[in-house]
Amino acid sequence: MSLVGKFATVGGATFASRLLGFARETMMAAALGNGAMADVFYAAFRFPNLFRRLFAEGAFNAAFVPLFSKEIEENGPDGAKRFAEQVFGVLFSFLFVITVAMELAMPLLVRFIIAPGFADDVEKFDMTVRLASVMFPYLICMSLMAMMSGMLNSLHRYFAAAIAPVFLNVVLIGVLAYGVYAGADPEHMARNLSWGVLGAGIIQLGVVYIDVRRAGMRLTFRLPKITPKIRRLVALAVPAAVTGGVIQINQIIGQAVASGKDGAISALQYADRLYQLPLGVVGVAGGVVLLPELSRALKAGNASEASHIQNRTIEFVLFLTVPAAFGLMVISPEITRVLYERGAFGPETTALVAAIMTVYAFGLPAFALTKALQPAFYARENTRLPMRFTIVAVVINSILAISLFPILAERGIALAEVVSGWTNVVLLATTLVITGHLRFDRLLMKRGPLIIASAIAMAVAVRLAAGRMSHWFAPEAAFLQQLGGLLILLSLAAIVYFGLVMATGGVNRALLGRLVKRGRKG
């Protein structure tokens, strides 16, 4: 399977998951709006979700995949299986201890980390503690799933690991549908959702475990033992965990700051979901596929192939995230209204979420480029330098979030994350260029500006069209009319952007053709 085909496999499964995530968030918005129970659920879910995104979207794999791949090359499948069993024993034991400790300390975690602003509201505080306690064991499922996903990716089996996250959205959609049918109040809805998260985690782990067994890797539990290989894994994994979780760490900080204002946490979550679709499809797919490919090229001593893979990945990221960013900037009110505005989610909340999403859009390419640049360090077993850059980015985010929240409210938190994201990209790219590990080739230098110019022209055309179609998106307009208007705008955006980028040579037509072919086969 080609590099583009692998991107399409992982990206397609991720796209399905994110679409179902939209359906879930739409139902959540209608049921809970941005009221107290929405704030409580999202605050409680953010903490275990931090670890889900941190582990499942590349941080653990950044350390595990190169070592597991090396075991396959040097000691064959049996040696790789023994190494995986050693890791499984240590990881499970560590997760069990951490989970017990976190459960006992949950009131303190909520008071000082998760939602300090809830401390003065006894009802919100107690409910957040209860929901977070139910959902935290989700961490065990997701971390073990991440390890098995890394094994599957190293064995060139991408689909099961990519499709597993779909089940979280399927389960939560089912819980929401049942709650609406049964007439559940917001408090009972939030409780049911928390149990749904835990159940979904068990299902997700089962999906990848079955595929690992099919791949011939029947793992058995071994008592934890700290071997030299485990020490090496830990030395790589800890910095990678901090580095890979920069977006989520920033969001935890933003949530802690935002918890002092009613409705702020849920508004940030709704905006986050919207820009996570293109970020997930491009950034996650690129990061998951790029790391094993770079590792193999470097271990084979093929520097030119590694450079080609890196440049084409950056090109792929820019090709899809730049137009997505400009699109979100110019039609965020229309997107938010169509997807969210119904039930408890009113026009005022639409305006707030759209404003936040516009700010987040400026950071979309940065968030995806980070996932495309970090594997260049991980493939060389260098996780400490990206960790230092992450610490710098987190400090900048913290200072800006605290400083800007009193002035710009939720938009200030989003702006802090955007500035932090671009800071990380500049540090990563500059270091790779200085060390000679990244050279921007002629094709990338030519196509990059053409992609940006095509996206700007598309944004102007779409904004003008949206202005002429404003009556299609009036609050009193029927949903089907609003949806039709949005589909027209998105179709116009695709026609203008792809037409311009192909006419000007801003995209590799062969690459685009392979993507289209792959989509038809799927």
DSSP code of residue 507: S
Q: Are 379 and 66 in contact (CB under 8 A)?
A: yes
Average the pLDDT over 350-358 and give the result: 95
pLDDT tens profile 116-163: 999 889 999 999 999 999 999 998 998 899 889 888 888 878 778 888
Region for 10 from its dihedrals, namely left if φ exceeds 0, alpha if ψ lies in -120 to 50, beta otherwise: alpha
Higher-scoring residue by pLDDT: 75, 202: 202
Average the pLDDT over 80-93 and give the result: 92
What residue type is 126 in one-letter code? D
pLDDT tens profile 253-294: 888 999 989 889 999 988 988 877 777 666 555 555 555 666
List the chain domain ranges: 3-521
Using pLDDT thresholds of 50, 70 and 90, give the confidence band for residue 487.
very high
CA dist 6 and 2 (Å) reads: 6
* Cβ neighbours of 74 (radius 10 Å): 9
CA dist 324 and 96 (Å) reads: 40
pLDDT tens profile 396-422: 999 999 999 999 999 999 999 999 999
Q: Are 195 and 134 in contact (CB under 8 A)?
A: yes
Place of tokens 């707030």: 352
The chain-wide mean pLDDT, for the chain, equals 85
| Centroid of chain to Cα 39 | 20
> Can you give the pLDDT at residue 223?
86
Structure tokens that stand for 239 in this block = 């910095």
How does DSSP assign 364-380, residue by residue? HHHHHHHHHHHHHHHTT
Distances (CA, A) of 516 to 217, 389, 513: 34, 37, 5
CA dist 155 and 446 (Å) reads: 35
CA dist 13 and 173 (Å) reads: 18
> Can you give the pLDDT at residue 171?
96
Q: Are 106 and 129 in contact (CB under 8 A)?
A: yes
Global pTM reads 0.77
Q: Are 8 and 274 in contact (CB under 8 A)?
A: no
Collapsing DSSP states into helix, strand and coil, what is residue 19? helix
| CA neighbor of 399 nearest in space, from 388, 408, 383, 412 | 412
Using pLDDT thresholds of 50, 70 and 90, give the confidence band for residue 436.
confident
Average the pLDDT over 359-378 and give the result: 88
